[in-house]
Amino acid sequence: MAVVTDAKYYEGKINELTEQLLKSIPKEKIEAKEGKLINRVAIMDFVNSNGRVSALGKYLGSKLSETIIEKNYYKVAQRGEVLDAMKNNNIVFTGVMNNETIKKLGERLKVDAVFFGEIVDLGTNIDVNIKFILVKDGEMLSAASIDIERTKSAVNLMETY
């Protein structure tokens, strides 16, 4: 039976990825005696292995934002705000950022951490991986990945820019 990669399918996969990502962060990395160390986050559009943002990358980033807000994990900077901050700081995101650039983006957006996602077409399936980076020092708090079905619609979304 063919898997249908519709909104519910992707929503389930993003929920799975978010749970996997956030449960692996040590409590002392996200909470202090004064309260949460991470209150507000930025979510970058997911990039393909060529460093470009496809329709699937925008969609997965949007679904991740929805999940984080819905589950009340963190406040999330709006996508337009993230894109403006990148443009105003001449940042072109291709999937990799150095600590200085992450810090600059974090200060501009007033966020404590950033989510970076990448989508890789492996031929038999599509690998989606994500990293959660602390802005103040560039420390990777967590990383996780899931596989999604390589359906015709998923491949089309990956190839649409």
What CATH number is given to the structural domain containing 108? 3.40.50.10610
Structure tokens at 125: 């399936």
How do residues 73-116 score in pLDDT, each as one tens digit? 999 999 999 999 999 988 888 888 888 989 999 999 999 999 99
The answer to whether residue 94 sits within a structural domain is yes
How do residues 123-147 score in pLDDT, each as one tens digit? 999 999 999 999 998 999 999 999 9
The dihedral formed by the CA atoms of 1, 67, 145 and 30, expressed in degrees to the nearest 10: -160
Domain carrying residue 151: 7-158
The answer to whether residue 55 sits within a structural domain is yes
Q: How many domains, in total, are found in the chain?
A: 1
The answer to whether residue 2 sits within a structural domain is no
The answer to whether residue 1 sits within a structural domain is no
The answer to whether residue 48 sits within a structural domain is yes
The answer to whether residue 21 sits within a structural domain is yes
Q: Give the integer Cα–Cα distance in Å for 91 and 96.
A: 11
Residues 6+ away with beta carbon under 8 Å from 72: none
The answer to whether residue 43 sits within a structural domain is yes
